[in-house]
Amino acid sequence: MSKFFLVAAGGTGMRCLQSFVQMCALGMYPNRNISILLLETDEQNKDKKNTENLLKWYKDIQSSGVDRKQAAVDKMTTDGAASIPSDNSSLVGGFFSANIDLYTFVPDYSKDDTRNFVVLSQVERGNSEVNHKLANIFYEEPVQEFPLAHGYRARTHLGSYLMYHAMIEDIRKAMSDDKYIGKSQLLKFIQQVQKASASGGARVFALGSTFGGTGASSIPVITRAITDSCKILTGDMIQMENIYYGGVVLSAYFKFSPPSDAHKKKDKIVAQSEFFKHNSASALMYYVNDPTILQTYKKLYLLGWGGDGFDWCDTDMYKKKYLSNDEEAKTATGGKNQENPCHLIELFGAFAAKHFFEEQSTSQKSLDNILSTEFKYKSLEVSGKSDSKNPIVHWEDLFSLPSPNTDKNVKSVSEEIQENFAGLICLSAIINSYYDKSLNKFLDVLKRYNMFFEIDDIQEEAVSDYLSTFYSKENPNGVKEIPGWIKQLYLTFHGEMNTPREMFFGLNGDVLEADNDGISWWQLFNLGKDEKSSANRFIETMRKQYKPSGKNAQGLGDFLDLLRATVKNTTIINTLRN
């Protein structure tokens, strides 16, 4: 059986990965081991930090005190940042049931000898005049000289060159330096790919954009970089046919204000969203014609947001309204201020990875028979006219199988998605509103009904943080609640409010409004006539589903399984399907 590997490159790749992690939390990859590589050039990028936090909470939720003690021992003995062993998950088969191992690679552009293209390529050495003339053929002088610490700034022709060589040099350094070999997370990721390629095959899926910096730069070269790195490890003995590459490339779907003249004068090279359409078009023309792409990628999933009539996500407006960023008037070229809202198209990107990974949708035999890249697309129904259009998205649109499941006793993937979404939305909404964002308060109420669960402090904090990120969380500036992942998705499209089957996955949009702090959560699931009666009914349904074991208390896995059973036995699912 092939092993799964995911590469998230750049800001867009990070946000696609956030949707992918949410899928894992929702139980879409039960008992599967997935290795993830974060590929970024901007160490301080807020999208990267948010993704790392999400993965940390995910691992803390999975772990027990015993796991964490063993991880501490491993860290002491390996001189590296050992993670909690992924094969010790006690939550297999339910929420948070995929086992994730995280690796990160960020080229260091902070040093004097790595700060820009000129010093990296040693243009000044030897005959500098000739070297400069040669460099000028490929890159304009401002492109050669801008600082790389905040990434490639939508200059993919430079970024692809630099990213490939940064990865290769890191592997070579690790293989030749005994002190560095234990510190290179990229090497550990490549070793896992190489090991999988020798036993069953490796499915490697890349997430990124066509229009930005790191992601757009990495997608064209990541296949060569990984394969060539494996060859360095094995002395050129790796068999290319045992590594199956897939990827999703997103064309432009968000915008931000153009930089001021002063900003452009200071930084010289600044990403400008008005050029994203052109960047996407040029990149797609390259993808469909480049021999390296066509010979290495088995499948590429091309996703785009509608042009005329479709609202593009305005990141400046989002930051000003919800994040209260003091620097919202200045275009963020990277760093801690580069934090964009999640988008529906990123969720489709995450499901593209599932389509590539799963044997039922992409069989091993079909991969072996693909001789040139297959390009995959996704089309949706559209409602509205002229300048007011919206996609119509149903649960079954998220994941499509070649043929329908004829066994009525087996749930379709779309039905599983519905149940799992409903479970986490309901729990996060109740905790967020009725129990003041405290899982402990909810558990204390369950104790009154003789339902006992042992959840340690780290797990409790991780669950609370995860659910607030999923639904909504407090703004540290105290202005408004920050919409969580599911509400950010809602911001990107609303559907037809008066037509249940054409609304946001059939969910009540009033409850998912970003400005709604959750006080009307109970309306989302038609549980009762008001908030209190709805909470009581939900807990009463939990009590009926609760099956005490011989021990005094059950664990977090038991609690989440009970939650799934409760959702299935209320009117929640029927409400979604009507």
- Of 151, 339, 351, the C-alpha closest to 254 is 339
Q: Which of 178, 48, 24 is nearest to 101 (CA)?
A: 24
What domains can be seen in the chain, in order of their start residue?
Answer: 3-109+147-368 (3.40.50.1440), 413-577 (no CATH)
In which element (H, E) is residue 208 found? strand 202-209
Q: 244 has which bridge partners?
A: 203
More confident residue, 562 or 204: 204
Least confident residue range of 86-95, 338-347, 436-445:
86-95
Q: Which DSSP helix (H) or strand (E) runs through 54? A: helix 46-62
Which candidate, 94, 34, 54, places its Cα nearest to that of 470?
A: 54
Residue 27: is its pLDDT beyond 90? no
Residue 484 has pLDDT above 60, yes or no: yes
Alpha-carbon distance 279 to 528, whole Å? Answer: 51
pLDDT band for position 324 (cuts 50, 70, 90): low
Q: How far apart, in whole angstroms, are the C-alpha atoms of residue 511 and residue 564? A: 21
Higher pLDDT: 452 or 515? It is 452
**What is the strand order of the sheet 374-376 is part of?**
99-105, 33-39, 3-9, 202-209, 243-250, 297-303, 374-376
Asked whether 267 and 333 are in contact (CB, 8 A), the reply is yes
Q: Which segment, 72-76, 189-193, 436-440, is predicted with the most confidence on average?
A: 189-193
> CA 12 to CA 280: how far, in whole Å?
13
Q: What are phi and psi of 278, to 5 degrees?
A: -65, -40
pLDDT over 90 (residue 202): yes
How much is the pLDDT for 154? 47
Strand partners of residue 249: 208, 302
Q: What is the pLDDT of residue 230?
A: 92
Question: With the CA atoms of 464, 254, 155 and 40 taken in that order, what torsion angle do they form, in degrees rounded to the nearest 10?
Answer: 10
Distance CA 387, CA 389 (A): 6
pLDDT tens string 122-136: 665 666 676 666 666
Comparison of pLDDT for 405 and 512, the residue scoring more: 512
Q: What pLDDT, on a 0 to 100 scale, did the predictor assign at position 508?
A: 67
Which pLDDT score is estimated for 159? Answer: 66
42 phi, psi to nearest 5 deg: -115, 100
- Report the candidate in 63, 28, 77 with the shortest Cα–Cα distance to residue 417: 28
The β-bridge partners of 301 are: 248, 376
Instruction: Return the higher-pLDDT residue of 348 and 402.
Output: 348
Structure tokens at 218: 């990495």
Which of helix, strand or coil describes residue 472? strand
The span from the CA of 5 to the CA of 206, in Å, is: 9
Question: CA-CA distance, 337 to 323, in Å (whole number)?
Answer: 10
- 179-198 exposure pattern, b = at least 16 Cβ within 10 A, e = fewer: eeeeebbbbbbbbbbbebbe
The answer to whether 462 touches 540, Cβ cutoff 8 Å, is no
In the structure, what pLDDT confidence band is assigned to residue 326 with cuts at 50, 70 and 90?
A: low
Alpha-carbon dihedral angle through residues 266, 108, 190, 462, given to the nearest 10 degrees: -80
Looking at the chain, the number of H-run helices and the number of E-run strands are: 25, 13
pLDDT band, very low/low/confident/very high, at 117 (cuts 50, 70, 90) = low
Check residues 251 and 25 and name the one with the higher pLDDT. 25
pLDDT of residue 80: 38
Mean pLDDT of all residues in 56-74 = 68
Among the residue ranges 120-129, 396-405, 503-512, the one predicted with the least confidence is 120-129
Q: Label residue 425 by pLDDT band (50, 70, 90).
A: confident
Lowest model confidence (mean pLDDT) among 63-77, 153-167, 446-460, 468-482: 63-77
More confident residue, 275 or 565: 565
What mean pLDDT do residues 90-117 have? Answer: 70
CB atoms within 10 A of CB 296: 21
